[in-house]
Structure 1
């Protein structure tokens, strides 16, 4: 099951916290008029919602719905985060999982190819959140734990706007879970090895750091100790770009930043992003942005 959510709307946190039961405990029975997000840190929880039983384990993120009876059905030790919140645009989706994955994958591709200086958003704020999702990535679990701990600290401080600050932290967590969901689904849908997502992220980090140097297939093979054609296929399936195309997009976006914020000339901007040939730079700039570097500068009203 999935919920359609408008990520441009901040959820309204009413109550947030973390609890640890070191002795067997069973969840009490209730009906409540708000969403509750449980993220299991350790142990296990046995919870039933509208007669459907769920056995939650570490890494599980489970969203309880408003106005539905939920209660425990078995005792267990458990440590978990809980967030009670309302959201004016979080509703059940009628789309199936495949359609939702296609939508989110397209959003990922659009975001990666977006112009960081454009005022328009790279992807729609409309997204989809899974009712139940298991986070297997230990690094992400640690990151979410840190965010929620910070949110709880803000909440408990009761300083001005403490609920707003906690709500913004919750929105960050929801976005991270959506991102991880589509990354996991992509790995399953194209029958890739479990390491492919890690490889793509490693390539992205490498290319974003090394775009200034001449990046060749030999250099990348030496760096990652893998066949370049294989890496290129995996990278394109994950991002929609070949490695070469992605590097060029990064370089041109950096060049746009230089032209927009400094007095550098076109030739200098090209050199600063690793492109020595000014004619090639201008051609590539127009190919990617649809306009020449000089016209881009004029559009910024730089005098």
Structure 2
């Protein structure tokens, strides 16, 4: 089970902190009027929600639902984070056939999206798993750090602290959702043809290594296949060839550097994978309709006029 949430709206967070409980304490029976998220740091917690027993171990995330009554069923020592929140656009979501595919398609769409576009980033839902064990240590560390920062904001109570608190909590929820996709969709991916898995791996590789000297021969070596075949498969899955996608990634990063760095065009081109300044200019104009210099001039004029 999941909770589908609109990530464009910040949650309203009432409480966020960590606590240690020890015997003989057990959670009292209650039906909260808000969602409560637990992340277990150490020890073990024994709960019952809506008549179903739950044992929570270190690394477990659990969402208590305001529709149900929950109660502690056994005393134990446990250290955990808790977050009490409300959200105007959150709803229970039962996992359906094709759900794993949907999650992977959402990730693929995100990876391929234009960093200068609003459209592809809007309307995507955040799926927060009801009960999930964060086996990926790096993700667990990130979530722990975010919750510690959230607690600190709630403690200092400086101006806008509730907004900062909500931002950190939402970021933690996003990281939990990402961790789920990365670890729990593995079985689905392994059922797909190897060519499909190669495309997913190649998308990640191109987004990460775009500034390097990427050639067909290098990709054959990295992914162990014939480049022409990989290129046809890549286009079938993504709608564009490998190098067209790579160039778009490079140009998007170049746009950001042109508008936000003092570097010369030659250095910007080199930093995104175009060591030849003239070739960089030709490719940039092909993808944007403007030369890098024209793009920089228009961006500067826009900022001066307040656009």
Give the TM-score band, short-chain normalised.
0.7 to 0.9
Indicate the residue corresponding to 1:133 in structure 2: 132
Is 267-276 or 166-175 further displaced after alignment? 267-276
What is the CA deviation profile of residues 126-177 of structure 1, one whole-angstrom value per residue up to 9, with x for unaligned ones? 3322211111111111111111111111112233333332222111111111
Residues 147 and 168 in structure 2, CA contact (< 8 A), matched pair in contact too: yes
Q: How big is the shift at 1:260?
A: 4.7
> How many Å separate the matches in 1 of 2:284 and 2:297?
19
TM-score normalised according to structure 2 size: 0.76
Q: How big is the shift at 1:257?
A: 3.1
Is 242-251 or 31-40 further displaced after alignment? 242-251
Residues 3 and 129 in structure 1, CA contact (< 8 A), matched pair in contact too: yes
> How many Å separate the matches in 2 of 1:98 and 1:281?
47
Residues 22 and 78 in structure 1, CA contact (< 8 A), matched pair in contact too: yes
> Is residue 2:57 matched to residue 1:57?
yes
Indicate the residue corresponding to 2:182 in structure 1: 183
Residues 259 and 296 in structure 2, CA contact (< 8 A), matched pair in contact too: no
2:290 to 290, 293, 301: 293
- CA change 1:285–1:185 in 2 (3 A) is farther
Secondary structure at 1:16's aligned position in 2?
strand
Indicate the residue corresponding to 2:95 in structure 1: 96
Q: How big is the shift at 1:296?
A: 10
2:225 to 226, 229, 238: 229
- CA change 1:229–1:68 in 2 (3 A) is same
Indicate the residue corresponding to 1:174 in structure 2: 173
Residues 136 and 183 in structure 2, CA contact (< 8 A), matched pair in contact too: no
Indicate the residue corresponding to 1:165 in structure 2: 164
Indicate the residue corresponding to 1:36 in structure 2: 36
Residues 113 and 249 in structure 1, CA contact (< 8 A), matched pair in contact too: no
| 5+ long unaligned stretches in structure 2 | 192-196, 302-307
Secondary structure at 1:293's aligned position in 2?
coil
> How many Å separate the matches in 2 of 1:157 and 1:256?
38
- CA change 1:146–1:96 in 2 (3 A) is closer
Residues 21 and 79 in structure 2, CA contact (< 8 A), matched pair in contact too: yes
- CA change 1:139–1:127 in 2 (3 A) is closer
TM-score normalised according to structure 1 size: 0.76
What is the CA deviation profile of residues 219-271 of structure 1, one whole-angstrom value per residue up to 9, with x for unaligned ones? 5788xxx65439x79xx7xx958865553332121233355568999888655
Residues 107 and 123 in structure 1, CA contact (< 8 A), matched pair in contact too: no
> How many Å separate the matches in 2 of 1:152 and 1:294?
47
The RMSD of aligned alpha carbons is 3.9
> How many Å separate the matches in 1 of 2:249 and 2:121?
15
Residues 38 and 63 in structure 1, CA contact (< 8 A), matched pair in contact too: yes
> Is residue 2:82 matched to residue 1:82?
yes
Indicate the residue corresponding to 2:305 in structure 1: none
What is the CA deviation profile of residues 76-111 of structure 1, one whole-angstrom value per residue up to 9, with x for unaligned ones? 221111111111111123x53444333332221222
Residues 22 and 75 in structure 2, CA contact (< 8 A), matched pair in contact too: no
Secondary structure at 2:153's aligned position in 1?
helix
> How many Å separate the matches in 1 of 2:218 and 2:267?
25
